[in-house]
Amino acid sequence: MPDTLIVNEIYRTISGEGITAGLPCTIVRLTGCNLRCKWCDTTYAYDEGQRQSLEEIISRVNHAGMKLSLITGGEPLLQPATPRLLEELCNAGHTVLLETNGSMDISGLDKRVIICMDVKCPGSCQADSLRWENLDYIKSQDEVKFVLTDRNDYEYARKIIQDANLIERCNVIF
């Protein structure tokens, strides 16, 4: 069913983190995640949700009246129709952010989409999940986020930032 997605929830809110913190937005939380981070705060998105057509999702986002849309999960890129949803929302005039755990290929995504990639540090117990080549596709408007639990996570993040020259290439969030 390439024209449908399993949606956990869609709601209007104020963005709470990253470069859009404080801005009104519509969140589309898709169902499913391939990781099990130790500190996950959205375990309900692992398997709860209802199948909806792309047209229904886009209609609900448009009806919410916000021009900023955040597509998140779980891991949204596990669902094959996600890239099309991102493109259609961009075509409809939305500023679209994709929150991803970095384990799925981002190379073919619409370049208008702002990538918010969460690089998993050792404290998450998922540090080996990153698809390293994804860092090659990060654009200047994108952000790379590191959730830190201790000094070891900080040092891990610092090395990745330095090795990938992230400070010069994109927004970096701790």
pLDDT of residue 37: 84
Contact 66, 24 (CB under 8 A): yes
The DSSP letter of residue 33 is -
43 in Cβ contact with 25 (< 8 Å): no
Q: Which amino acid is at 166?
A: L
**Higher per-residue confidence, 34 vs 90:** 90
pTM value? 0.94
At 67, list the tokens.
């021009």
76-128 pLDDT per residue, tens: 999 999 999 999 999 999 999 999 999 999 999 999 999 999 999 999 999 99
DSSP state of 55: H
